[in-house]
Amino acid sequence: MKRLISTALAGIFAAGGAYAADDVKLQLKWVTQAQFAGYYVALEKGFYEAEDLNVTILPGGPDIAPPQVMAGGGADVMVDWLPSALAAREKGLPIVNIAQPFKSSGMMLTCLKETGVSTPADLKGKTLGVWFGGNEYPFLSWMNTLGLKTDGTDVTVLKQGFNVDPLLQKQAACISTMTYNEYWQVIDAGIKPEELVTFKYEDQGVATLEDGLYVLEANLADPAFEDKMVRFVRASMKGWKYAEANPDEAAMIVLDNDETGAQTETHQKRMMGEVAKLTAGSNGTLDPVDFDRTVKTLMGGGSDPVISAEPVGAWTHQITDKALN
């Protein structure tokens, strides 16, 4: 309701001849949830408005690929994972990381202890649930570092939907989960933490950067667009830091913006608490060390690496240097 009132007032002021805010369309990687709380907080708290921005947040979903939306001109900026972005860039879509709100990775493999998995070596011979659509890249690189072939010789890859059914139905020994989402769906389904074994990608040394902000490279040459992104990143990071400090309030803001009604207060508050751990330590500036680690992991894909050459120009501090200093 607040968003609708704010939009209506903005329209009234614009009609009256007042300065019109700059429009920004943000494409999310997934549906409205606390994974993107910083942006919804910035919207609801007026941080975007204070920067003369009229931001429209576009939820994602299983049938929405942010790079494709960007390529079609449907968004000014998008949230994506670096592996997916680098793969798209190598294929010809010139997208560039302009900010990195997430410092740590929340991706992990969650396994049923009863299947005999207790160490990564135990994954051999098992069926593993894997997300695709760009999320498979870190997994494939990890398997290569373990010396495990994913063609069925060493492990069988089950193309996992965005749910935890393969584990609950025991179709797979392990499935892909995020620390802030699917892991808790498994717990809520009645499986106890002590019945599970988890392998966080951070702990395995193959973590790749998630949830960064990306734009089309050519747009950065436009001073007006650059200025708009400087203001957008500054307000967004203000939103993220507010969300970290006020997780329960941030979760409720997310719920207010969930037009599907699919999210619950309990789940979103728990998710926000976990997401805050991933954004902690980041002021929005991409750390080149984290970028290089991601590239090394992606190029370690054996005979089928995610990217075939080290990317050049795939990130910039052009925006964060002006937004955050």
Beta pairing partners, 107: 178
**Per-residue confidence (pLDDT) for residue 214, from 0 to 100:** 98
**Per-residue confidence (pLDDT) for residue 116, from 0 to 100:** 97
Indicate the pTM of the whole model. Answer: 0.89
**Per-residue confidence (pLDDT) for residue 289, from 0 to 100:** 95
User: What is the 3-class SS of 66-130, one letter each residue?
Assistant: HHHHHHCCCCCEEEECHHHHHHHHHCCCCEEEEEECCCCCCEEEEEEHHHCCCCHHHHCCCEEEE
Domain ranges of the chain: 23-101+212-323, 107-200
**Per-residue confidence (pLDDT) for residue 162, from 0 to 100:** 83
Pick the CATH number of 23-101+212-323 from 3.40.50.10860, 3.40.190.10, 3.40.50.720, 3.40.120.10: 3.40.190.10
Residue 167 and residue 130 in contact, taking contact as beta carbons nearer than 8 Å: no
Q: Which CATH class is domain 107-200?
A: alpha beta
**Per-residue confidence (pLDDT) for residue 296, from 0 to 100:** 87
* 23-101+212-323 and 107-200 share one fold: yes
Q: Encode the chain (325 residues) as per-residue pLDDT tens digits.
A: 445 444 444 444 444 445 689 999 999 999 999 999 999 999 999 999 999 999 999 999 988 999 999 999 999 999 999 988 998 999 999 999 999 999 999 999 999 999 999 999 999 999 999 988 767 878 888 898 899 999 999 999 999 998 999 999 999 999 999 999 999 999 999 999 999 999 999 999 888 999 999 999 999 999 999 999 999 999 999 999 999 999 999 999 999 999 888 899 999 999 999 999 999 999 999 999 999 999 988 887 655 667 888 999 999 999 999 999 7
Residue 214 and residue 81 in contact, taking contact as beta carbons nearer than 8 Å: no
End-to-end CA distance of the chain: 34
